Amino acid sequence: MRLTETRILMTGATGGIGRATARKLLEQGASLLMVGRSDAVLERLAAECRTAGVPPSRVKWAAADINRATDRTRLVAEAERLDCNVVLHNAGLPSFGRLQDVAPEDLSGVIQTNLLAPMALTQALLPRLLTLPAAQIVFVGSVLGSIGLPGFSVYGASKFGLHGFAQALRRELADSAVRVQYIGPRNTRTGFNGKGVRAYNRATGTAEDTPEQVALAIARLIREEADERLLGFPEKLAARINGLVPAWLDGSFRRHRRALESPVADLTAART
């Protein structure tokens, strides 16, 4: 869809990738309904966009916790009022560390935010999207939704789930005018990755993208209506091999395991 024709409900608009993507989408002519949990942060963000010259009619926002059913109902009503034809599921929570070190409440928290909430919001929005001449549902997953890495069992489970949900829904809606899309960024420089992840990335030589690179890729994905894209090399290749013959990669993660055991990783500070 041409971005000038899009009216996008975007979750996670207040985060690192979200802000960069909001800027890029607005620059290319989209209208946005930006979602985060803080009124004050969203209001500031919208003011910044207006100061940068975006007409107020193209920048709307709604504070909502996507894990709350009442908030999702409010978002659905707002999306209908603003005639949104694209949903960009970008909100997410991190989880990093050996499974035995992950806080038990993070298991449900991460699966709830990264998987169940976007599923529930999609289900609630879908009846109206199906009445439109064209609509797009875009999921921001991760390369860790295609390849399991030591230290990311919980986060990876949430993104593998999201990836599977997007694929099945795309096939289910293939005869409709609703396109289902999935993008899997690799490690990106935002506040999402705490000290522990950054140390692990250094120890394993993991490359990093900027939020602006991810934003460009998201804008292109929407414009080109591509089904699915993963970002970065060698991540794309590794994901492809992992999909075909996962056993070939099983012996490749000694450095990653060692990095998890290193005191430098300071796993308890993973979110700081």
Ligand X SMILES: NC(=O)c1ccc[n+]([C@@H]2O[C@H](COP(=O)([O-])OP(=O)(O)OC[C@H]3O[C@@H](n4cnc5c(N)ncnc54)[C@H](OP(=O)(O)O)[C@@H]3O)[C@@H](O)[C@H]2O)c1
- Told to check if 93 binds ligand X by CB under 6 A, we report yes
Residue whose CB is less far from ligand X, 65 or 101 = 65
Compute CA 144 distance to the chain's CA centroid, rounded to the nearest angstrom. 12
CA–CA separation, 255 vs 259, rounded Å? Answer: 6
CA–CA separation, 250 vs 269, rounded Å? Answer: 28
CA–CA separation, 138 vs 198, rounded Å? Answer: 27
Subset of 143-162 contacting ligand X (CB under 6 A): none
- Select the residue interacting with ligand X from 10, 33, 59, 66 (CB under 6 A): 66
Cβ(163)–Cβ(138) below 8 Å: no
- Told to check if 193 binds ligand X by CB under 6 A, we report yes
> Which is catalytic among the residues 152, 155, 165, 192?
155
- Told to check if 204 binds ligand X by CB under 6 A, we report no
- Select the residue interacting with ligand X from 29, 55, 191, 234 (CB under 6 A): 191
- Select the residue interacting with ligand X from 65, 78, 101, 228 (CB under 6 A): 65
Which tokens go with 118?
């976007």
- Told to check if 242 binds ligand X by CB under 6 A, we report no
- Select the residue interacting with ligand X from 150, 156, 185, 232 (CB under 6 A): 185
Stretch near ligand X under the rule CB under 6 A, chosen from 65-73, 76-84, 222-230, 256-264: 65-73
Residue whose CB is less far from ligand X, 58 or 271 = 271
**Any bridge partners for residue 59, and if so which?**
32
Which residue, 165, 153, 167, 160, is CA-closest to 121?
A: 165
- Select the residue interacting with ligand X from 16, 151, 196, 232 (CB under 6 A): 16
Residue whose CB is less far from ligand X, 154 or 260 = 154
**HSE-CB for 113 with a 13 A CA cutoff:** 19
Phi first, then psi: give them for residue 115, nearest 5 degrees.
-125, -60
155 in active site: yes
CA–CA separation, 8 vs 11, rounded Å? Answer: 10
The radius of gyration computed from the CA coordinates of the chain, to the nearest angstrom, equals: 18
CA–CA separation, 218 vs 215, rounded Å? Answer: 5
Which tokens go with 48?
């910044």
- Select the residue interacting with ligand X from 86, 92, 169, 270 (CB under 6 A): 92
Stretch near ligand X under the rule CB under 6 A, chosen from 34-42, 79-87, 164-172, 234-242: 34-42
Element (H, E) at 257: helix 254-261
CB of 52 to ligand X, least distance (A): 19
- Select the residue interacting with ligand X from 113, 136, 181, 242 (CB under 6 A): 113
CB of 257 to ligand X, least distance (A): 20
Which residue, 49, 4, 9, is CA-closest to 30?
A: 4
- Told to check if 12 binds ligand X by CB under 6 A, we report yes
- Active-site positions? 155
Query: Which residues are at the interface with ligand X (CB under 6 A)?
Result: 11-18, 36-38, 41, 65-67, 90-93, 113, 140, 142, 185, 187-188, 190-193
